[in-house]
């Protein structure tokens, strides 16, 4: 088994890291304080082709990254700014990839070139105030009207809300979940206020209101009633991406911990000389290393065309916990300096906490994994 990166993947990784260090790092702290990503940064991201990461070269001028290389991109970005990584991840993994897989030819022709150019960022609107872990109780409703559909409802937790030029919306059509792509300019589509978050403050997370929004038939994703399947498929891939985001956060947190522990002097020497601090850092480094292989393996399965839902859930479960725990420990290594905004670790800690919630909570990943474990037995795993 060979999981080493090809020379092309190594070249991409270096390019991603250089871009992140040059363009993302200097914007990250300010973006967190101003609670938005600078437009200049998003333009640079688009100019690098990162909004087209998962679009094919032909006919959309995309970069066509394989899943392994794509995870290297997310890891490099999140090491500097998790809000930026999340924005790009939602656009590519949940938005662009889903439209490429399930959008009609007319829809792809209308949207994908602009999406790939970063002119039409995507958002994924599944969650509602009363439907989080259980999307079967969505209340947003779609009704047929001639050769179109009319959607009415409310969505919450829409990452890229307001920034987006297209919203993937999941709604009940005759009691079956159906997915639609709604351009932002659709009459009746109203982006609500920002949801004030503990972390990820530079990522736009909003409510979304659908007031009798009309979607022509070509804006249907897949067929009527396939929305649940489409959402789960998108989230499987999304979880691999999110695990890569967690990996970047965890790896950088360890680096910040080592740097601080080597510089901070107490009791006559650097605190890094204390066994307790070394233990913290060693445990964190081991968890980061384990995460890397879980991410790499799940992405490799996706690239190989093999089923990867279980591995995606395992990677997401482990990576999100790792990032939350590791950032927590590295705050401890910083002492009081970990609790003030002068040092970046507090931002990483706040941002990382979200990873155990979005794209399926830790408990939902456990249910998915248990479902796989009990497959073929008389035990039925239900949420």
Nearer to ligand FAD, 71 or 206 (CB): 206
The residue whose Cβ lies closest to ligand FAD is 132
Torsion from C-alpha of 68, 69, 71, 72, nearest 10 degrees: 130
Q: Which two tokens mark 26?
A: 């200097």
Instruction: Tell me how far apart the alpha carbons of residues 354 and 361 are, in angstroms, rounded to a whole number.
Output: 9
Q: Specify whether the CB–CB gap between 163 and 169 falls below 8 A.
A: no
Verify binding: residue 372, ligand FAD, rule CB under 6 A. no
Using CB under 6 A, pick the residue from 151, 158, 284, 302 that binds ligand FAD. 158
Site string for ligand FAD, 194-233 (x = CB under 6 A): ---x--x----x----------------------------
Verify binding: residue 383, ligand FAD, rule CB under 6 A. yes
Of 177-185, 283-291, 330-338, 352-360, which segment contacts ligand FAD by CB under 6 A? Answer: 352-360
Instruction: Tell me how far apart the alpha carbons of residues 46 and 122 are, in angstroms, rounded to a whole number.
Output: 13
Verify binding: residue 324, ligand FAD, rule CB under 6 A. no
Instruction: Tell me how far apart the alpha carbons of residues 380 and 383 are, in angstroms, rounded to a whole number.
Output: 10
Verify binding: residue 164, ligand FAD, rule CB under 6 A. no
On the CB side of 216, CA atoms within 13 Å amount to 8
Instruction: Tell me how far apart the alpha carbons of residues 93 and 111 are, in angstroms, rounded to a whole number.
Output: 16
Nearer to ligand FAD, 74 or 258 (CB): 74
Verify binding: residue 369, ligand FAD, rule CB under 6 A. no
Place of tokens 């967690």: 246
Verify binding: residue 323, ligand FAD, rule CB under 6 A. no
Nearer to ligand FAD, 247 or 261 (CB): 247
Nearer to ligand FAD, 249 or 271 (CB): 249
Q: Point out the catalytic residue in the list 75, 311, 356, 359.
A: 359
Q: Which two tokens mark 373?
A: 């474990």
- Least Å distance, CB 247 to ligand FAD, is 18
Using CB under 6 A, pick the residue from 51, 122, 159, 171 that binds ligand FAD. 159
Backbone angles phi, psi at 221, to 5 degrees: -100, 125
Instruction: Tell me how far apart the alpha carbons of residues 83 and 12 are, in angstroms, rounded to a whole number.
Output: 21
Name which of 295, 287, 362 is nearest 330 in CA terms: 287
Using CB under 6 A, pick the residue from 51, 74, 125, 234 that binds ligand FAD. 125
Backbone angles phi, psi at 85, to 5 degrees: -60, -40
| H or E, element range at 73 | helix 67-78
Query: Is 35 part of the annotated catalytic residue set?
Result: no
- Least Å distance, CB 354 to ligand FAD, is 4
Nearer to ligand FAD, 183 or 257 (CB): 183
Instruction: Tell me how far apart the alpha carbons of residues 68 and 60 are, in angstroms, rounded to a whole number.
Output: 21
Nearer to ligand FAD, 22 or 101 (CB): 101
Verify binding: residue 127, ligand FAD, rule CB under 6 A. yes
- Least Å distance, CB 241 to ligand FAD, is 12
Q: Specify whether the CB–CB gap between 199 and 350 falls below 8 A.
A: yes
Instruction: Tell me how far apart the alpha carbons of residues 67 and 238 are, in angstroms, rounded to a whole number.
Output: 11
Nearer to ligand FAD, 56 or 132 (CB): 132
Region of 24 please: left (phi>0), alpha (psi -120 to 50) or beta. Answer: alpha
In the complex, the residues that contact ligand FAD under the rule CB under 6 A are 90, 124-127, 132-133, 157-159, 197, 200, 205, 354, 357-361, 363-364, 383
Q: Catalytic residue numbers? A: 359
């Amino acid at each position: 088994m060979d999981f080493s990166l090809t020379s092309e993947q190594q070249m991409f990784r270096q390019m991603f890291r250089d871009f992140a260090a040059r363009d993302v790092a200097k914007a990250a702290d300010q973006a967190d304080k101003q609670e938005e990503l600078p437009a200049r940064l998003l333009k640079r991201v688009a100019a690098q082709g990162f909004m087209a990461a998962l679009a094919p070269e032909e006919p959309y001028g995309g970069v066509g990254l394989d899943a392994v290389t794509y995870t290297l991109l997310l890891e490099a970005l999140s090491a500097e700014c998790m809000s930026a990584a999340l924005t790009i991840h939602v656009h590519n993994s949940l938005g662009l990839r889903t439209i490429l897989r399930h959008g009609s030819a007319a829809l792809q022709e209308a949207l994908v070139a602009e999406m790939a150019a970063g002119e039409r960022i995507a958002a994924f609107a599944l969650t509602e105030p009363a439907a989080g872990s259980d999307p079967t109780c969505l209340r947003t409703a779609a009704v047929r009207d001639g050769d179109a559909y009319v959607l009415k409802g409310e969505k919450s937790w829409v990452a890229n809300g307001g920034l987006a030029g297209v919203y993937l919306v999941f709604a009940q059509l005759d009691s079956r979940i159906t997915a639609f792509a709604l351009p932002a300019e659709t009459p009746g589509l109203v982006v609500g206020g920002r949801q004030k978050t503990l972390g990820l403050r530079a990522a736009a997370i909003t409510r979304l209101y659908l007031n009798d929004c009309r979607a022509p038939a070509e804006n249907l994703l897949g067929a009527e009633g396939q929305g649940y399947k489409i959402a789960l498929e998108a989230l499987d891939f999304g979880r691999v991406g999110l695990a890569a985001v967690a990996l970047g956060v965890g790896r950088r947190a360890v680096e910040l911990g080592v740097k601080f522990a080597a510089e901070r002097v107490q009791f006559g020497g650097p605190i890094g000389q204390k066994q307790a601090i070394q233990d913290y850092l060693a445990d964190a480094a081991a968890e980061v290393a384990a995460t890397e292989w879980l991410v790499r393996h799940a992405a490799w399965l996706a690239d190989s065309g093999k089923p990867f839902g279980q591995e995606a859930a395992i990677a997401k479960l482990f990576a999100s916990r790792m990032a939350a725990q590791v950032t927590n420990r590295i705050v401890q290594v910083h002492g009081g300096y970990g609790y003030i905004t002068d040092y970046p670790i507090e931002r990483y800690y706040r941002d990382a906490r979200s990873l155990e919630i979005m794209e399926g909570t830790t408990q939902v990943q456990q249910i998915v994994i248990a479902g796989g474990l009990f497959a073929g037995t008389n035990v039925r795993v239900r949420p």
